[in-house]
Amino acid sequence: MKIVILGAGISGHTAAAFLKRKLGRHHEVTVISPSQYYQWIPSNIWVGVGKMSVDQVRFKLSKVYDRWGIIFKQAKAMTIHPEGDQEIKTGFVTIEYTSDGDSGKQERVPYDFLVNATGPKLNFAATPGLGPDKNSLSVCSCDHAIHTWEELQKSIALMKAGKKQRFLIGTGHPKATCQGAAFEYALNLAFEFKQRKLDHLADITWISNEYEVGDFGMGGAFIKRGGYITSTKVFTESVLAEHNIRWIKRAGITNVEPGIAQYELLDGTSSFVEFDFAMLIPAFAGQGLKAFSITEEDITSRLFAPSGFMLVDADYTPKPFEEWSIRDWPEKYQNPAFPNIYATGIAFAPPHSISKPMKSPNGTEIFPSPPRTGMPSGVIGKVVAQNISEIIQKGGSGHKHLANMGKMGAACIVSAGYSMTKGLGATMTVSPIVPDWEKYPEWGRDINATVGEIGVAGHWIKLFLHYMFLHKAKGYPFWWLLPE
Domain boundaries, the chain: 2-122+284-394
- Tell me which residue of 455, 428, 432, 460 sits closest to 445, measured CA to CA: 432
Is residue 74 helix, strand or coil?
A: strand
Task: List the chain pLDDT tens, one digit each, 484 residues.
Answer: 999 999 999 999 999 999 999 999 999 999 999 999 999 999 999 999 999 999 999 999 999 999 999 999 999 999 999 999 988 889 999 999 999 889 999 999 999 999 999 999 999 999 999 999 999 999 999 999 999 999 999 999 999 999 999 999 999 999 999 999 999 999 999 999 999 999 999 999 999 999 999 999 999 998 887 778 989 999 899 999 999 999 999 999 999 999 999 999 999 999 999 999 999 999 999 999 999 999 999 999 999 999 999 999 999 999 999 999 999 999 999 999 999 999 999 999 999 999 999 999 999 999 999 998 888 999 999 999 999 999 999 988 889 999 999 999 988 888 888 988 888 888 888 999 999 999 999 999 999 988 888 889 888 999 999 999 999 999 999 999 999 8
Q: What is the pLDDT of residue 347?
A: 97
Q: What is the pLDDT of residue 127?
A: 98
Burial class (CB in 10 A: 0-12, 13-18, 19+), 138: buried
Rounded CA-CA distance 362/367 in Å is 14
Q: In which region does residue 297 sit, left (phi positive, over 0), alpha (psi from -120 to 50) or beta (all else)?
A: beta
Which CATH number describes the domain made up of 2-122+284-394?
A: 3.50.50.100
Is residue 318 helix, strand or coil?
A: coil
Q: What is the largest CA-CA distance in the chain?
A: 70
- Return all residues near 288 (Cβ < 8 A) that are at least 6 apart: 121, 308
444 strand-pairing partners: none
- Tell me which residue of 409, 463, 415, 412 sits closest to 232, measured CA to CA: 412
425 strand-pairing partners: 415, 455
pTM of the predicted structure, to 2 decimals: 0.95
Q: What is the pLDDT of residue 360?
A: 98
Q: What is the pLDDT of residue 259?
A: 98
Q: What is the pLDDT of residue 277?
A: 98
- CA 200, distance to chain mean position in Å, is 33
Rounded CA-CA distance 11/374 in Å is 8
Q: What angle do CA 118, 119, 120 make, to 5 degrees?
A: 120
- Provide the CB-side half-sphere exposure for 209 (13 A, CA): 33
Rounded CA-CA distance 192/165 in Å is 14
Q: In which region does residue 400 sit, left (phi positive, over 0), alpha (psi from -120 to 50) or beta (all else)?
A: alpha
Q: Are 11 and 74 in contact (CB under 8 A)?
A: no
Rounded CA-CA distance 362/379 in Å is 39
- Tell me which residue of 167, 143, 178, 131 sits closest to 48, measured CA to CA: 143
Would the CA dihedral through 238, 242, 248, 254 be positive or negative? Answer: negative
